[in-house]
Amino acid sequence: NISPLSCSGSRSSKTFKPKKNIPEGSHQYELLKHAEATLGSGNLRMAVMLPEGEDLNEWVAVNTVDFFNQINMLYGTITDFCTEESCPVMSAGPKYEYHWADGTNIKKPIKCSAPKYIDYLMTWVQDQLDDETLFPSKIGVPFPKNFMSVAKTILKRLFRVYAHIYHQHFDPVIQLQEEAHLNTSFKHFIFFVQEFNLIDRRELAPLQELIEKLTSKDR
């Protein structure tokens, strides 16, 4: 079962995770459709707000899945440029370097190449999203007490993929004419984490200038 997106070489197909689908007909699917509709209006500040009467955990869950899919797709377009040779460390500019640890399989942070780091990261996120005890897809199944802290860790880590793409691979993004797509996706992400205070400001430092630029027009 090879997806058409993965035929450009074995390595890039490895990092390109399958899309995480929200089951049709479920309440979460309705929420996703609501999110897409409000995004279509072009007002991102409005689009991230919790719809009236909705559960915050569920709203954060639906959007986290959506951001995972978006980042997965964006990174998938530039995997040929992000190699062991071009990116021997996972960085976001000269001042920021990330070492991988997930607390279970790899407890002590390890230094690894960007493609390896992103592969670890996306696999880890996918495992969290697939865990029904963390991200229940069935109606009436409650979210666990630690859901928000798990969601915050996922979003904090997904941010690092944006940061790496912007700092190390922006030229190919422009060549591929993906710039508007990347900016819109990142801006949506930033508005969302700002709205619910999901990522510590210090974590956002590698892209602080860009964040100010992208968000200043919409205050």
Which residue ranges make up the annotated binding site? 82, 87, 164, 169
167, 100 contact by CB (below 8 A):
no
**What phi, psi does 10 have (nearest 5°)?**
-65, -35
User: What's the gap between Cα 20 and its chain centre?
Assistant: 12
| CA terminus-to-terminus distance, the chain | 46
List binding-site positions for Zn(2+): 82, 87, 164, 169
**CA angle at residue 120 from 116 to 122, to 5 degrees?**
115
Residue 107, burial from CB neighbour count under 10 angstroms (0-12, 13-18, 19+): exposed
Alpha carbons 119 and 83: distance in angstroms, whole number:
12
